[in-house]
Amino acid sequence: MLPFKIIFHPQYDLNLGPHVFPSEKFKLIRDALLAEGIAEPADFLEPQPAPNEDILRVHTPAYVNKLLTDSLTLSERMKLEIPLSEATRNGFWLAAGGSTLAGHKALEDGFAANLSGGFHHACPGHGEGFCMINDVAVAIRSLQAAGKIRTAMTVDTDVHHGNGTAEIFASDPSVFTLSIHQENNYPVPKPPSDEDIGLDDGTRDEEYLRALEKGLLRAFEKMKPDLIFYVGGADPFREDQLGGLALTLQGLQMRDRMVFEHARQRRIPVASTLAGGYARRVADTVRIHVNTILAARDVITQQLPAETK
Ligand SMILES: [Zn+2]
C-alpha cells in the first residue's frame, strides 16, 4: 500500500487510436502499478470531471463554449492536434478534476499523483499541442478559490516549454512557474515563465540535473509555495520521438527524486501530473511514469530531514 493516493479514471483514455500521443498510456501505467505490486486497488481514487465553474477560472467563456458546442474553427482544430470528440472532451475535464483532487490529497498526505494531466500548452483562449484544458492551472485556481492554498509553484520538466501555464500566470504573483525544457523545440515563441531553463539539444543526465538543481534553488529563494504541481513529462528521454534531450531512464528518476527531495526538505506538498511522453516503445513511457511513483514513495517514506530554507 502506498503512503499517498493515486488519481485515475478509465476515461482518461482519449481513444485516439494510431497517433503519436499514446492515449492508452494512462491505463497502462495504472495496470503496471497494480501488476508489480507497487499499488493496490485501495490506493486509487476516481475523480469527477472539473465543474465548468473551475474551467472558467482559467479559460475564456468563448473558448469553453466552442469546446462544449463542438464549434472550433478549422485552424483551432489543427492547432490542437487531436480531435475534439466526446471522449477527448470528457478526458480533459476529468484530467482537470483529477489534478484538482490530487492537489487536495497532496495537502493531506504530502504527495498525490494524477495519472493524467500536465496539459501545459493549453492557453486561456485556445488549446494546442495535444492540450485542450490546462488542468494544472484549473487545479491551482480552484484550490485558491476554495481557500486551501494561497500560493503555488509549477515545476515543469516536460521537454517542451510550458507556454500555456506561463501565459496564464504571467501577471499573477501568487503562482511561480518554472520550466526546464529543450530550447530548440516546440513551442515557438515561449512566453516567459518566472524561471526558464532552456537546454541545448542532446543535454545528458548530469548536465540536466545540475541545471535543474540550480533552477530549483533560485525558485525557492523567490517563493516557498503552499503547494507544488509537478509536471513530470517523460519526453526528455533520449529515445523520445518529439524530444531532443538525452536523458536515461535512471536520469529521469533522479530528476523526479530531486524535485521531491527539495520539496520535502521544505515541507511543501507535491501533486504530480504526467504531461508528454512519446518514446518509440510505449513501455518506456510507462516505465518512466511508474518510476516517478517509486521516487515519490522513496522520498515520502524517508524520515523528514531538518527543514531547509
Ligand atoms: Zn512535451
Peptide bond into 189 cis (omega under 30): yes
pLDDT number for residue 305: 67
pLDDT number for residue 130: 95
Q: What is the pTM of this model?
A: 0.96
Residue 121 alpha carbon to ligand 1 centre in Å: 9
Residue 108 alpha carbon to ligand 1 centre in Å: 29
Residue 284 alpha carbon to ligand 1 centre in Å: 15
**Local confidence band at 23 (pLDDT 50, 70, 90 cut-offs):** confident
Residue 226 alpha carbon to ligand 1 centre in Å: 26
Residue 40 alpha carbon to ligand 1 centre in Å: 29
Residue 232 alpha carbon to ligand 1 centre in Å: 9
**Local confidence band at 169 (pLDDT 50, 70, 90 cut-offs):** very high
Answer yes or no: are the C-beta atoms of 186 and 120 closer than 8 Å.
no
- What is the C-alpha separation between 59 and 123, in angstroms, rounded? 7
| pLDDT, tens digit, 9 for 90 and up, residues 76-124 | 999 999 999 999 999 999 999 999 999 999 999 999 999 999 999 999 9
- Percentages helix, strand, coil for the chain (3-state, rounded to 5) are 45, 15, 45
Answer yes or no: are the C-beta atoms of 72 and 85 closer than 8 Å.
no
